[in-house]
A and B are shown apart, each in its own frame.
Chain A
Amino acid sequence: MKLDINIREKEVLRYLKYDLDRTKTDDKIIRLVREQIKIGVTLVYPGLKYKILPVLDNNGEKVKLSALVIKNKNIARLLKDAEKTVLFVTTIGSALEKEINRLFSAGEPTKAVILDAVGSEAVEVLTDTVQEALTQQAGPYRPTPRFSPGYGDWPVNENKAILRLLAAQTIGVKMSAQCMLSPQKTVTGIWGLVRKADGR
């Protein structure tokens, strides 16, 4: 799988609270953002673990996968037509967050906050890329939207079971007693694979 991290400047600006209509800025600061995007990309060490799990049963209340049971109406609805699901964890590693900490303590908060936004965008793009590639690889399926523990009413402590199932420690992803993921720029979640109607 080719995991190109193509950072979208627009998205980085959005994380930084840039408002297309109202924000007035100068070249200097935009140049700084672009520089940090370039630097940020070099600090991304993508990690991925996933499992494709068939849906054994979905009664609208809970979804039974081959290795996991999810009791959640919203997810049951999300996976209504799914034949299989992809359970995943993606991360960009901890190098970028170390650099952010260093920049803050070196008195460079501007670069630090930009780099943080680059990191958020990087893990998002990585996850998008992974979703697209894995879906394509799986066959004649289309993906459902992604869902992650902590969104809506899917409790964040579900992460524990997901990480264990995926052996996420092998790519350096850990969870604290308070359910915090580390590295910080890590995404866990699920999406469904729905067979395309025309079979192609």
Chain B
Amino acid sequence: MTFKNLLRKKKIIIFDGAMGTMLQRENLPQGVCPETYNLTHPQIIKKIHQAYIDAGAQVIIANTFGANRLKLRGYGLEADQEKLISAGVRIAREAAKGTGILVAGDISILGELLAPLGKVSFSEAVDLFAEQAWLLKHSGCDCLIIETMTDLQEMRAAIIGSKKAGLPIIASMTFEKDLRTVTGTDPVTAAIVMQSLDADVIGANCSAGPQELLAVAEKMTSVAKVPVIIQPNAGLPRLENGKTVFPLEAAEFASFTAAFAKLGVSFLGGCCGTTPEHIKMLKAGSLKLKVKTKDKSDKTYLTSRTKTVEIGEYPVIIGERINPTARKALAEAIKSGNFSLASEEARSQVSAGCDLLDVNVSVPGTNEKESIRKLVFDLSSQIDKPLVLDSPNPEVIEEGLKQFPGKALVNSVTGEKAKLKKLLPLVKQYGAAVIGLCIDEKGIPKTWQKRVEIAGKIIKETDNCGIPRSDVFIDCLTLALSAEPGGIMDTIRAITEIKKKYAVKTVLGVSNVSHGLPNRSLVNATFLGIAVAAGLDAVIMNPLDAKMQETLLAAAYISGKDANGQKYLSAFSGQRSEDSQKNKADTSLRSAIIMGDKDGILALTEQLLAGARALDIINLEIIPALEEVGIKYENREYFLPQLMMAAECAQVAMKRLRQELAKDSSAGSPKQATIVFATVKGDVHDIGKNIVIAILQNYGYKIVDLGKDVPQGKIIAAVKKHRAEVVALSALMTTTMVEMPAIIKALKQAGLKVKTVIGGAVVTGEYAASIGADAYAKDAVEAARVIKQLIAGSS
């Protein structure tokens, strides 16, 4: 009997039960490494195996659970690894001799978490598991079982390492009461990742009793393409008189057998607390049962550590914004090893509704392997979306694949032979999916026929590598409409043909279509709509682009990918009235700022600039808008975020207007008033000051922000240097407020004719008057008003 033959059986295959708790019954002392019994008490180990064989087990598991180098090191037994393993396997083999019973080598947790949660690196873990698997194979095991795993990333390392030995692999994880592993993975995600890594059998063990594992089995079998194994404990353990007791008797334990068979579970065994009696009952109960066979699922799934995304009917959005190409700030941040901007991009795209997140760290002159490692660490702890690893460099892709605790999508391979040979084995090894571009050594072909042909070449190679069609995405490539006026529909046709011919998924970045054209977003959105109708499964786009999102919703509904328009209707229900309201509202810059409508600002500013001077636009549109918002805020008709959103809108317009002002200033227009801002020495709470600045920077003033904890001398120097009209000081506490009179006194002594305004939680109008400040403002809106008056008075 071989393991492969076992897999073909339509009956339930019975594994053995617990070893650890059986050894405790045989008085294994606390703190002793259980594997040492292979050498010191081989007769006990053999007796246990024998009992399970007599009970009807068809596969027994050798006593090598903790025999990895790291765990043995904890017992000072590192040097004995080979002896312990070969003895363990030998005893099992002897017990099984002449019975046709198979021996599985046992592998489990290293006892330390993988980076970034712990210290062990992914590669070290792979090596440790590979070493144990190799020793198990050469000691004579028929297959390997990786069990009681609590962390998906460690499971990935275990499968990848163990695979190197070339034996069939059974992979089984342990779930907590909330049906997640200790590090948060759900059964569906675990199943998908394990089978993508080519485990031959997947499942769950330990955890709790059969009742609890039924729920896990139900979820796993719903996505499993390979056989499923379940090995429950004999119920949830409890302490009785200082001893751990497992409550489920053999008969009750076995009473779940039919339920498991009905779900399609084909391997059953026992974990902690089970005995040969439990296995005997399990066997008896399973004899007449047939395992439910199901259609092999060809659905496409990608996962993070904690979440699975199905790429089904409705097209998914791949967020494109973490890409430093043509994004200078992001490139600079990555170059300096700062990934917070990338994380922020990730979070904003996720909240805007992207399903997958493209991650590209290609900045020339940087260590991209290092960058991808760090960024993947950050992202996989901060967001729960699957990543799309985007690099032309296979080494960078491999590093990302190692560190990402889930099933990633690789972006991308081309039809070039050499590249396919290099990258596809990595995709397979790390259990990922892959994007293939319809481009080869000769470049992007113009006709759809040629692109289908290149897709065919790529798919032949993915087939050869054993990558399932459901894990292949073909990108038919978007050309610029301005350069290839007649060729765009070839991309669309290629999508339809490739889907029909090869049953793969398709993906497309759409924004290139509008390159060099006016009103790009219209062209992008229209093209997206057409591509969706042609069968596009995934779109690479900016999820923050509302027009694209809306087009996607409508196009999916129209082309029958949004059943009953559920998504469309839930997105837009109740909006009819809002639409008609908007149509009535006026479309001035002023009202756009008041409404906080950031998208329209720049266009409106440009329109105004066609007929007005920048300074007039500030005075007649922007400042009145901010003042109106200020009044709404004071009346509590608006709350703080609305006040800030108006300031942000104004800022968009100001950015453009400052360019014009810079041109004007050379023509001798009046000098801008200057305001120096500071939060006084000893005080670090500057949010109030920052809010005032956010508003006032739209008034056309020059703002000098000295920050927080600013010493007196620095304030005096700044007022002199910038010839400021106004100094605005903030303090939060009575202990820091006392700095203010000293500053005002020093300004007067220096003979500076500057106006002072103060504010902050504990500051009052009376206090302002008592220390000789020119004004006091209770909040940001009042500060804007007061400062405007002070400046008008000083000029």
Contacts of A13 in B (CB 8 A): 639
Distance A180 CA – B648 CA, assembled complex (angstroms): 30
Among listed A35-43, A74-82, A121-129, interface-contacting one: A35-43
* Given A17-B636, A113-B687: A29 and B641 interface contact (C-beta under 8 Å): yes
A23 touching B636, Cβ below 8 Å: yes
Closest chain A residue, CB of each to CB of B697 = A107
B570 at the interface (CB under 8 A from A): no
A29, A38, A100, A117: most-surrounded residue (chain B CB, <10 A): A29
Tell me the chain B residues, 632-651 only, with Cβ under 8 Å from chain A: 633, 635-642, 644-645, 647-648, 651
Contacts of A180 in B (CB 8 A): 682-685, 732-733, 735-736
Q: Which of B641, B651, B690, B736 contacts A16 (CB 8 A)?
A: B641
B636 touching A19, Cβ below 8 Å: yes
How near does chain A come to B15, taking the closest CB pair, in angstroms? 36
Distance A100 CA – B596 CA, assembled complex (angstroms): 20
Contacts of A157 in B (CB 8 A): 735
B691 at the interface (CB under 8 A from A): yes
Contacts of B736 in A (CB 8 A): 178, 180
* Given A29-B641, A110-B645, A184-B685: A179 and B596 interface contact (C-beta under 8 Å): no
B71 at the interface (CB under 8 A from A): no
Closest chain A residue, CB of each to CB of B695 = A109
A170 at the interface (CB under 8 A from B): no
Q: Which of B636, B637, B641, B733 contacts A33 (CB 8 A)?
A: B641
The interface on chain B, measured as residues whose beta carbon lies within 8 A of the other chain's beta carbons, has a size of 34
Contacts of B642 in A (CB 8 A): 25, 29
B481 at the interface (CB under 8 A from A): no
A92 at the interface (CB under 8 A from B): no
A177 at the interface (CB under 8 A from B): yes
B641 touching A107, Cβ below 8 Å: no
Q: Which of B635, B641, B687, B732 contacts A110 (CB 8 A)?
A: B641
B644 touching A113, Cβ below 8 Å: yes
How near does chain A come to B178, taking the closest CB pair, in angstroms? 13
A108 touching B682, Cβ below 8 Å: no
* Given A17-B639, A110-B641: A178 and B648 interface contact (C-beta under 8 Å): no
B351 at the interface (CB under 8 A from A): yes
Tell me the chain B residues, 690-745 only, with Cβ under 8 Å from chain A: 690-691, 694, 732-736
B219 at the interface (CB under 8 A from A): no
B596 touching A29, Cβ below 8 Å: yes
A24, A110, A179, A184: most-surrounded residue (chain B CB, <10 A): A110
Tell me the chain A residues, 91-115 only, with Cβ under 8 Å from chain B: 98-100, 102, 104, 107-110, 112-114
Contacts of B596 in A (CB 8 A): 26, 28-29
Q: Which of A38, A108, A109 contacts B691 (CB 8 A)?
A: A109
Q: Which of A23, A42, A108, A156 contacts B637 (CB 8 A)?
A: A23
* Given A19-B636, A22-B636, A109-B647: A42 and B683 interface contact (C-beta under 8 Å): no
A17, A33, A38, A177: most-surrounded residue (chain B CB, <10 A): A17
Contacts of B639 in A (CB 8 A): 13, 16-19, 23, 25
How near does chain B come to A97, taking the closest CB pair, in angstroms? 9
Q: Which of A100, A110, A177 contacts B648 (CB 8 A)?
A: A110
Closest chain A residue, CB of each to CB of B574 = A27
A56 at the interface (CB under 8 A from B): no
* Given A42-B382, A116-B687, A180-B682: A35 and B636 interface contact (C-beta under 8 Å): no
B43 at the interface (CB under 8 A from A): no
A72 at the interface (CB under 8 A from B): no
B338-353 interface bits toward A, Cβ cutoff 8 Å, 1 = contact, 0 = none: 0010001001100100
A173-185 interface bits toward B, Cβ cutoff 8 Å, 1 = contact, 0 = none: 0001111101010
Contacts of A116 in B (CB 8 A): 687
Contacts of B732 in A (CB 8 A): 180
A179 touching B641, Cβ below 8 Å: no
How near does chain A come to B281, taking the closest CB pair, in angstroms? 38
Distance A39 CA – B340 CA, assembled complex (angstroms): 13
B665-697 interface bits toward A, Cβ cutoff 8 Å, 1 = contact, 0 = none: 000000000000000001111010011001000
Distance A100 CA – B351 CA, assembled complex (angstroms): 18
Q: Which of B682, B685, B735 contacts A156 (CB 8 A)?
A: B735
Distance A45 CA – B631 CA, assembled complex (angstroms): 38
A104 touching B637, Cβ below 8 Å: no
* Given A33-B641, A113-B641: A179 and B733 interface contact (C-beta under 8 Å): yes
Distance A184 CA – B684 CA, assembled complex (angstroms): 8
A35 touching B351, Cβ below 8 Å: yes
* Given A19-B639, A23-B636: A109 and B694 interface contact (C-beta under 8 Å): yes
* Given A17-B639, A23-B636, A39-B347: A182 and B684 interface contact (C-beta under 8 Å): yes
A32 at the interface (CB under 8 A from B): yes
A19, A23, A156: most-surrounded residue (chain B CB, <10 A): A23
A176 touching B684, Cβ below 8 Å: yes
Closest chain B residue, CB of each to CB of A157 = B735
Tell me the chain B residues, 147-196 only, with Cβ under 8 Å from chain A: none
Contacts of B651 in A (CB 8 A): 107
Q: Which of B347, B633, B648 contacts A108 (CB 8 A)?
A: B648
Contacts of B683 in A (CB 8 A): 178, 180
A178 touching B735, Cβ below 8 Å: yes
How near does chain B come to A5, taking the closest CB pair, in angstroms? 16
How near does chain B come to A187, taking the closest CB pair, in angstroms? 15
Distance A19 CA – B694 CA, assembled complex (angstroms): 23
Contacts of A26 in B (CB 8 A): 596
Distance A157 CA – B735 CA, assembled complex (angstroms): 9
A102 touching B638, Cβ below 8 Å: no
How near does chain B come to A58, taking the closest CB pair, in angstroms? 28
Contacts of B684 in A (CB 8 A): 176, 180, 182, 184
B648 touching A107, Cβ below 8 Å: yes
Contacts of A100 in B (CB 8 A): 687
Contacts of A17 in B (CB 8 A): 633, 636, 639-640
Q: Which of A22, A29, A38 contacts B351 (CB 8 A)?
A: A38
Contacts of B635 in A (CB 8 A): 22
Distance A24 CA – B639 CA, assembled complex (angstroms): 8
Distance A157 CA – B640 CA, assembled complex (angstroms): 32
B641 touching A32, Cβ below 8 Å: yes
Closest chain B residue, CB of each to CB of A39 = B347
Contacts of B641 in A (CB 8 A): 16, 29, 32-33, 110, 113-114
Contacts of B735 in A (CB 8 A): 156-157, 178-180
How near does chain B come to A19, taking the closest CB pair, in angstroms? 4
Contacts of B682 in A (CB 8 A): 176-178, 180
How near does chain A come to B605, taking the closest CB pair, in angstroms? 16
4 shortest interchain CB distances as A-B pairs: A178-B682, A109-B694, A110-B644, A19-B636
Contacts A177-B682, A178-B735 given; 20 further ones with Cβ under 8 A? A16-B640, A17-B633, A24-B637, A24-B638, A25-B639, A28-B596, A29-B642, A39-B351, A99-B344, A102-B344, A104-B690, A108-B648, A110-B641, A110-B644, A110-B647, A112-B644, A112-B690, A156-B734, A157-B735, A178-B683
Q: Provide a sorted-by-A list of 9 A–B residue pairs whose CB atoms are within 8 angstroms.
A: A22-B635, A29-B642, A42-B382, A102-B344, A108-B648, A109-B644, A109-B691, A113-B691, A180-B685
Listed in ascending order, the chain A residues whose CB lies under 8 Å from chain B are 13, 16-19, 22-26, 28-29, 32-33, 35, 38-39, 42, 98-100, 102, 104, 107-110, 112-114, 116-117, 156-157, 176-180, 182, 184
Listed in ascending order, the chain B residues whose CB lies under 8 Å from chain A are 340, 344, 347-348, 351, 382, 596, 633, 635-642, 644-645, 647-648, 651, 682-685, 687, 690-691, 694, 732-736
